[in-house]
Structures are given as structure tokens and as C-alpha cells.
Chain A
């Protein structure tokens, strides 16, 4: 509009100017049909397409079940260990009685509901070994009451003086109490470890066992810190480092065969191992001191120059290093003693081997001590318990690992569920939902078989599936778009289209209302007339 007032005659001229011919009603109708069809296309075709193509696919996850697993509501980890008693010299009645009394004594001693020992009588000797029992007690009459663990098989040999057999009417018996306390000491470490595991995870407090002394907790914490995270396969790297040109070869194959293979074989139901070896000449350690103290040891490994991470395959590496040198380690706790090796938690072991200067070949016999050290360190790096006979330690390890895997898979499920809720813009492909279902079914199986051998297998699968579901490759990308970004994308696209559409609609509505008003006025005039 011009601000200047127009002269009068000009105003008159514009008003009297010829108006366009009035629109035909058919034209008006056609125009409204055109506008209507555009809007119909936008609403019925455009909107659904836009909706379909921009929504993020989120598979339905059983969120509540997943959280239940993570909170420990879905599974109450119980380890029913069956212990069979072999009492061939007993009469049936006596044996039953002893069993009942011992079970009573055990139940009285036990304060951790999750880990209970169930006794049973084994009638025939031959089936004792592989009927799923964790331990067999072999009762034999003897001079006094003694208990020894069989080193080769999970058998506890108990001798008893014949007069200690409880009479059928007795309500307690020293023999039963003795057996119970022996069993309890045998499984004390396992109980402590498992209850520690449960307590560090998010299990509800009523499942938590009480009464772990601070010292036990500390030593258990230390052990779990030391042990490597569970993996089905570990890669062992044996390295010979020497600061000079000699020795340049070693009989590591023979030494491993001799001093480590047996243990690896025993561990094979739980872990697989792959092995590689290397020799590095002119390798200088990170610390050059002749006498090493504890602080030096942590920087002894020359991480910058020693090729210690082969990254072969997908398995985590455990390093075993033999360094040829005559450095000594001072141990502040023991003044006179010097040691030659140290363990680095979750990483491996270093062994200082002092050799005569002109040694060119390290024989298997020389490697005996280092290899034996490595072997025992390997056991502690894998988290094997320290007390008891080897077969028992291994079966305990299997149980601890299955509990560990179960807890880890459960907590992964919980993390996934919380993430799915916290990040509404993350896409969840159907493979994740599949993984979750698989994880939960295997977790259920593992939970039901925790004491047995299948527990580990199921827990392993469950953990692998849970990890795969959580680390699903496609669940990434830009998760968060600020609103400004959305406007910046849509405005140039939709603005030019939307303006004529909206304006057309508004004009049309205005015209329609005007027509209606005119009609109403005309109607009123007619009535008046």
C-alpha cells in the first residue's frame, strides 16, 4: 500500500473499472475439487509414505523379563550339589541313618541357601564316578577318623573307627558331624567365591549370603581382579626376550608338551587354548636397573617396543615372558629372599631367567622352572580356586564360571533393556529380539542346571547370544538429531510445497464461507419480502 493518499477521481476510476466476469458455479466446484484432490493425495498417500519411510524399526523386546533377569528375579541361582556316599561296609539301615544325620548336620551348618549339598547313597560302585555327583565320599572302617581327598578323582576318603557308627535311634553322631564339617571345609572356598560373585552383582539382597569376613572378601576381590575375563578360547603367547644376541633358540615346544600340556588338557572342558611363541633378540626392558623393586616391575615391560600383542584371531591373549637377564627382584616383605617371577593381573607372567653368557640354545630342562611357574599362574589367571584337590578345583571352576556367565548375560540383558528404554531413537533390528529370546531360553536352562555340567554350556551360549544382541552392528549411527536439524532438513523441502497448498485451502474455505453468508442473506431477504 502506498502511504500517499490517492486523488479522488483515481479512486473512482479503480472502483468503476470493469470487474472480471463472475465465476461460473461449475468452475468454482472444479477448483474446490482440485484443491481437495491435492489434499487427499498429501494426506492419504504422502503422509503414510513419509511415516513408513522415516519411522525407526524397533523390534518388540520383552523388556520386563529382561529387567527381571538383570535384577535376579527370574532366576534364583542355586547350586544343588549332589554328593554320593559310598558305604559298602554299612548295612542299609545304618547307612540311611548316617545319611539322615549328616544331612541334618550339614543343613545346620549351612547359612547360604543358594549353595546346598544334597547327600545320596550310591549302591553300586561302578556308577559312582559319572552319575552327576560333585563328590563321592568313600567310607572305610579304620583306626581313627581321618579324611583325605583323592588326588585323581573327586573322592573324599573318610575312615572311621567301627564303634562310631550311629545307632538307629541316635539323634546326633560324631561321625555325621565330622563328615559334615569336612564337606563344609571342602566346599568353603567355592561357597565364598559364589556368594562373593552374587554380592558384587545386582542380586536382590535376600539371596545374598551373609557372613563373609572382610579378609575373605578382600582375597576374593583380589582373585577376581587377577583373573582374566571368561572367554571360551584363550591365546597363549610365549616370548623369549634377551637383551643381547644370545640365546637365539629355545626348545619351547618340548617344554610346553612336558610341563604345560597336561594342565591345558585338564582345562579343556572349560577353555580352549591356542599357542604361539616368539624369540626377540636385543630387546631392552623398560627398566635398566640391576636390582628391581616392586615399582620397577610394573614398567619393566617395554610396551612401546616389544611386540606383545599378536592380535591373532578373536581370543584374548595371555602373555608368558621369559626374559634372559641376571636382574634380581627385591621383595620388601621378605628381606633376604629374591624371586624371579611376577604376575601381572589379567595379563600374564614375566620370568627372569639368568643364564651363562654363551648359551645359544635354551633346553627344555632349563625351561622347566619357568614353565611350571607359568602353569600355576595360568590356573590363577583363569580363576581356578586355590584349595582342594585338582579335580575338585576344576569342577568348582566350572561352576564358578557358569555362575559368572549367567550373571554377566543377565546384566547384559538388563543393560540392553535399559538402553532400549532410554534411547527411543535407536533402532532395534529383529535379530536383536531373536538374540534376546535365545539368551533367555538358554539362561533358563542354565539356571535350572547350575550345579550340573550342562549349566556351563548353556550359560556360555546365553552369554555369547546376549553379547551379540547388545553389540548388534546396526544399532548405531547418529542417534540424536536436534530439532534445528530436523527443521533444516524439512523446511526447504516442504516449505515451497506447503505454501500454495495451505493458501489454496484457506482461500477456498474463505470463499465457501462467503458464499454461505451470501446465500443466507439472500434467503433472509427472500423471507422478508
Chain B
């Protein structure tokens, strides 16, 4: 009884802190290069355009594009990328920020990005600077198979690697909730190994199913978008017009059907706290949009008193800073006095100390010296033994 009464308030305390997220991030990854994979870049760019439309700033979008379709010599419309044969929207536009491009898109860089194990030299704009109040949308597309996704036809990321990376993020409290979305062949196998909490995962196709493209543009000459992404976009464009939309993630998932996508799109809720019900009730804009809970200052009425209060505060801090400075000066003066006294005393002491340092012919590191000797001796002995063995065998024969 007593124990439960002790624990209960603690449990109550812990819950409200998790209720809300304060920032939205998006990691959009295309993993294939070459002209015939035009549609994968178009997939990613159309999601990029959508999250930007819904308010996620470029500084919070990590875009990985292994190839530059807009500047490909085979592109009949140079400088543009379209995801629809009607060519109504140029996805490349004039305002696009690619964070990782070309050969920078590697498995290692992707895992480094997620786990933030990067060097000092990495600029902030290329890092995923999330915290325990960040919702992250992770969208991946490319060519995949059973439990792997190919990066640039050169290497692949396994479902285990991905799961471990997410787990490291969770351990370091680098996310609040994640929506993981993947459009590739056998996509659902990629999220089957995830084991970290608070992840909603969805994929375009089951094991042994291919993920198909939606349509081709005859002038561009290749397919321009995949079916799964196309119908996601259709939902986002028609139902989620702005950040005030109240459509939920469940609505988005319900819009998938075999007739549209030509493969069985999958959803995984079991990692989410509260299960399917809770996960489905999340707003689409919780992941695709940037909804900030602003705090409006109190109105004009309070303002006059407020401003005088603030002025007071500034005045106060000025005085305090002045006081600090004076105290510091005093301290510095005292320190100087003692330091000069010390210096005098030190100068006298220094001379005899300098004499102590005498050049001695001695190896620089004592401990290594012996091990090196032993290694050398063993090597010599080994060679001698080999020679002895050889000559013995010769003698025997």
C-alpha cells in the first residue's frame, strides 16, 4: 500500500512531460543514382516539397540525393525535375537545399546522421540536431530487397543496421516520435527488425512483392514517380492543405489500397506507446508539418506594467553587472599582488630546479623498451628454431 502510494504520483508526474513535441524534423533519403532511377529522386523531392509547404524549415530537413537529375545530359528539360507527366510543378524550383549529394550518400553517412556520430568539421545544417521533443519523419526510397536497401548500387543497409541506429537514437533521447516511411521493393521487411519504442512504420510492399512505378512521362522518357509515393502525395495534397488540417495518420494509412498501389502496403503500430489506436490518432501534421505551440504575450493592458517591469530588470542587471565588475577588479588586484609576490618567490626557486634537468642517455619510454627487446629476442629465437627444424628434417630424410 505504502509503496504504491509512493510510486503513483511519480508515475503521474512522468506522463505529462511526454505529451508534446516542440520541433519537427525530416530525413528524406533517396538511395539510387543513374538516369533510369529518375522516379526515386522525384519521389524524395515531392515529399521534400510537401514538408516544406507544411512549414518545416530547410534547417530541419536533411535531404540526401545521390544524383542530380536536373543536370543530367539526358534530361530533355534541363534544370527541372517533375513527378508528374503534366509537368505542372517543377520540384527543383529555385529554392532547394540538398544536404548530402552524390557520393556523400552512403550507408555510413546515413547512420552517422541518425546517431549524430560526426566530426567537429560537420556543419550544423548537415546534422540531425533533434532532442527528446522532436518528431522525425524518415522517408527512404530506392531499390531494396528482403531486409536490405541498396545505396547507389554499391552497398546496402540492412534492416538490423537501421534498427540499431534507431535504438541508439532512442537511448540518447534523440526523438519523441518517428514516422518511418519506405517506398522500395519488399519494403515492409525493412521495418520488421525495428525494436525501439514510439515508431510508426509504413512501407509500400510485402516480402516478395515489387513496388511499382505510377506512370512514365514520354518526353522525359522514364517513369517519374512510384505508386506508393504518388498516392501518399495525393492524400497530402488534397486532404492536408495547410498546417491546421486535422487529418490523422490513420486516415492516411486507410487511404492505401491494393487497387491503387498494386502491392500490399504495410503498417506497423506495435512499437508505439498506446498501440494502434494511439498511433492512428496522431495528426499527419505532427510529422509532415511544423506545428509550433506559440505563446502569445498578454495584451496591451498588461503591456505598460510589463514594460516598466522589464525596464526595471535591465536597470537592475546593469547595476549588478557593475557590482560584479567592481568585485572582480578588486579580486584581480588582490590576485595580482599575490601573484607578483609569488613570482618573486618563484624566480628564486626556479634556478636550482633548472639544474635538475640533465640529459641522460636513456630510452624515452621505459616500458616499451623491454617489450620491444622481448619481441626481438623471440623473433630471433623463432627463426633459429625454424632453421634448426628444417635442418633436422633434412637430416632425417
Contact = CB atoms under 8 A, between A and B. Distances in A.
A212 B9 CA distance: 9
Q: What does DSSP make chain B's interface, helix, strand, loop or mixed?
A: helix
Contacts of A419: 167-168, 171
Contacts of A375: 310, 313-314
A346 interface: yes
B308 to A, nearest CB: 9
Nearest to A340: B297
B292 A298 contact: yes
Interface in B283-317: 290-303, 306-307, 310-311, 313-317
B10 A262 contact: no
B153 interface: no
Interface string A224-248: 1110010000000000000000000
A262 B294 contact: no
B353 interface: no
A369 B306 CA distance: 10
B55 A303 contact: yes
Interface string A272-304: 000000000000001000000011011101011
A342 interface: yes
A297 B296 contact: yes
Contacts, number: 215
A477 B112 CA distance: 8
Contacts of A33: 393, 396
Contact of A259 (B17, B95, B242, B314): B314
A337 B107 CA distance: 54
Contacts of A334: 298-299, 301
A372 B312 CA distance: 10
A196 B12 CA distance: 12
Interface in A182-240: 196, 199-200, 205-206, 208, 210-212, 214, 217-218, 221, 224-226, 229
Contacts of B164: 423, 479-480
Contacts of A224: 17
B292 A345 contact: yes
B47 interface: no
Nearest to B168: A419
A163 to B, nearest CB: 35
A341 interface: yes
A352 to B, nearest CB: 11
A130 to B, nearest CB: 7
Contact of A342 (B167, B295, B313, B396): B295
Interface stretch (B118-126, B201-209, B215-223, B257-265): B118-126
Given A217-B16, A297-B296, A304 B57 contact: yes
Given A210-B9, A480-B161, A343 B295 contact: yes
B313 A390 contact: yes
A339 to B, nearest CB: 5
Contacts of B296: 294, 297, 329, 331, 339, 341-342
Q: Size band of the B side of the interface? A: 35 or more
Given A200-B13, A298-B293, A375-B314, A266 B321 contact: yes
B270 interface: no
Interface in B150-192: 158, 160-161, 164, 167-168, 171-173
Pick the most buried of A229, A262, A473: most chain B CB atoms within 10 A of its CB.
Answer: A262
A304 B52 contact: yes
B320 A304 contact: no
Contacts of A29: 396
Contacts of B172: 412, 415, 470
A336 B302 CA distance: 12
B319 interface: yes
Contacts of A38: none
Given A26-B397, A152-B316, A390-B317, A478 B107 contact: yes
A225 B298 CA distance: 19
Contacts of A205: 6-7, 10
Contact of A303 (B57, B133, B320, B327): B57
A422 interface: yes
A221 B244 contact: no
B213 interface: no
Interface string B97-129: 000000000011001100111111001110001
B320 A266 contact: yes
A359 interface: no
Contact of B131 (A229, A294, A298): A229
Contacts of A475: 117
A136 B168 CA distance: 47
Contact of B292 (A212, A309, A311, A347): A347
5 contacts: A334-B299, A345-B22, A376-B306, A480-B160, A482-B160
Given A263-B314, A346-B23, A480-B164, 16 more contacts: A151-B316, A152-B316, A200-B13, A208-B10, A210-B9, A212-B13, A308-B59, A311-B59, A339-B303, A347-B23, A411-B173, A415-B172, A418-B171, A476-B117, A478-B158, A480-B160
